[in-house]
Amino acid sequence: MAMDPSALEKMQRPRYLGMPTFMRAPAHDGPAGLDIAMIGVPYDGGVTNRPGARHGPREVRNQSSLMRLVNQATGVEPYSLATVGDIGDVFIERPFHLESSHEEIRRAFEPIMEAGAVPLAVGGDHSISLPILRVVGADRPVGLVHIDAHCDTGDGHLGSRFHHGAPFSRAVDEGVLDPERTVQIGIRGALNDPDQWKFSYDHGMRVIHMHEAREMGLDAVIAEARRVVGDGPTYLSFDIDALDPAYAPGTGTPEIGGFTSFEGQVLVRGMAGLNLVGADLVEVAPPFDPSGVTALTGATLMFEIICILSQVIASRRG
Ligand code: MN
Ligand code: MN
């Protein structure tokens, strides 16, 4: 498929010019005609520590102006394989209400699936993955590649079970996520309770702690992730705090001892060929990111995700 001429034209203009969209892709009113619909979810009403991820989509758009057309490592040219557009942000009308905000997010993703587009969301805190999974997992539970410092399979905290430390336990409870096809990569940090991630273990999720990932090596981590999710429909969720805060300081719940930026890129590339039905990049919090490096890193990982999604789309087209 030929490159969207408006995208090409944009690439020939100064990258600092004009209103930013994700990847300088064309802005669209909705998902019609798109293979990959990029969408911002500027919501952080589910954070348990420092807020700010509501500003993530805008800064990732800004930093994504630096992104280019060809993946130097893999040779993938995503915009030749798939039609990619920015459909704007979810407009949450009642952001002070956590559960109704999730319902507003869910309703915003329904038309994306109905249009046959693959959603690529930028958060926002990690609680936004739950309403997205309610849509992508509505017909059958999906598998999950979850890259994060935290399992996010907690339970009630400060009066809610829907905060950003619990989306994946709720998704299992609701039957939209298959725990036995879930792999969680990069888990680390001290706990308040040795059983903090008991939900993951008890439900058969494969938890690859950071120290284990270091011992295994990235190739083995990737092979294990691919084994766990298999060839069924799978969602990819990348929490920027999986990276070491030396690389990604702008996030709400930083944990030292994490992946490098390069390792994050390699992990995403390693998921090429999986049956991906959607993805998100969450927890970029610009107020803690004065240099913009976290948003730049988020935008770059987003480009890696676009590359593997575009390959899936091309292979489905045959
Ligand atoms: Mn998370
Ligand atoms: Mn996290």
**CA–CA–CA angle 17, 21, 24 (5° rounding):** 65
Q: What is the mean pLDDT of residues 163-184?
A: 98
Q: Yes or no: say if 283 and 229 are a contact pair by the CB < 8 Å rule.
A: no
Tell how far the Cα of 265 is from the centroid of ligand 1, in angstroms: 18
3-state secondary structure the chain: CCCCHHHHHHHCCCCCCCCCCHHHCCECCCCCCCCEEEEEECCCCCCCCCCCHHHHHHHHHHHHHHCCCCCCCCCCCHHHHCCEEEEEECCCCCCCCHHHHHHHHHHHHHHHHHCCCEEEEEECCHHHHHHHHHHHCCCCCEEEEEECCCCCCCCCECCECCCCCCHHHHHHHCCCEEEEEEEEEEECCCCCCCCCCHHHHHCCCEEEEHHHHHHHCHHHHHHHHHHHHCCCCEEEEEEHHHECCCCCCCCCCCCCCCECHHHHHHHHHCCCCCCEEEEEEECCCHHHCCCCHHHHHHHHHHHHHHHHHHHHHHHHHC
Looking at this protein, which amino acid is placed at residue 48? T
pLDDT given at position 5 = 56
Nearest ligand to the C-alpha atom of residue 125: 1
Instruction: Supply the mean pLDDT for the chain.
Output: 96
Q: Using the predicted structure, report yes or no on whether residue 7 has a pLDDT greater than 70.
A: no
Q: Identify the band that residue 266 occupies on the pLDDT scale cut at 50, 70 and 90.
A: very high
In DSSP terms, which residues pair with 53 in a beta bridge? none
Q: Yes or no: say if 278 and 235 are a contact pair by the CB < 8 Å rule.
A: yes
pLDDT given at position 8 = 59
CA gap 64, 295 in Å, rounded: 8
Sheet with 84-89, side-by-side order of all strands: 84-89, 36-41, 118-123, 276-282, 234-239, 142-147, 177-187, 206-209
Looking at this protein, which amino acid is placed at residue 235? Y
Nearest ligand to the C-alpha atom of residue 254: 2
Identify the CA nearest to 163 among candidates 44, 56, 71. Answer: 44
Residues measured by CB to lie within 5 Å of ligand 1, the ion: 126, 148, 152, 239
Q: What is the mean pLDDT of residues 197-225?
A: 98
Identify the CA nearest to 274 among candidates 118, 130, 132, 167. Answer: 118
In the block, which residue shows the tokens 């609680």? 127
The better pLDDT of the pair 12, 23 is held by 23
Q: Identify the band that residue 13 occupies on the pLDDT scale cut at 50, 70 and 90.
A: confident
Residues measured by CB to lie within 5 Å of ligand 2, the ion: 148-150, 239, 241
pTM of the model: 0.97
Q: What is the pLDDT of residues 125-154, one digit of tens each?
A: 999 999 999 999 999 999 999 999 999 999
Q: What is the mean pLDDT of residues 163-188?
A: 98
Cis amide bond preceding 278, omega within 30: no
CA gap 280, 56 in Å, rounded: 12
Tell how far the Cα of 221 is from the centroid of ligand 2, in angstroms: 18
Distance of CA 306 to the CA centre of its chain: 11
pLDDT given at position 235 = 99
pLDDT given at position 318 = 81
Q: Identify the band that residue 11 occupies on the pLDDT scale cut at 50, 70 and 90.
A: confident
Q: What is the mean pLDDT of residues 36-42?
A: 98
CA gap 292, 250 in Å, rounded: 8
In DSSP terms, which residues pair with 37 in a beta bridge? 85, 119
Q: Using the predicted structure, report yes or no on whether residue 81 has a pLDDT greater than 80.
A: yes
Tell how far the Cα of 16 is from the centroid of ligand 2, in angstroms: 31
Distance of CA 247 to the CA centre of its chain: 17
Tell how far the Cα of 126 is from the centroid of ligand 2, in angstroms: 8
Task: Give the chain's largest Cα–Cα span.
Answer: 54
pLDDT given at position 174 = 98
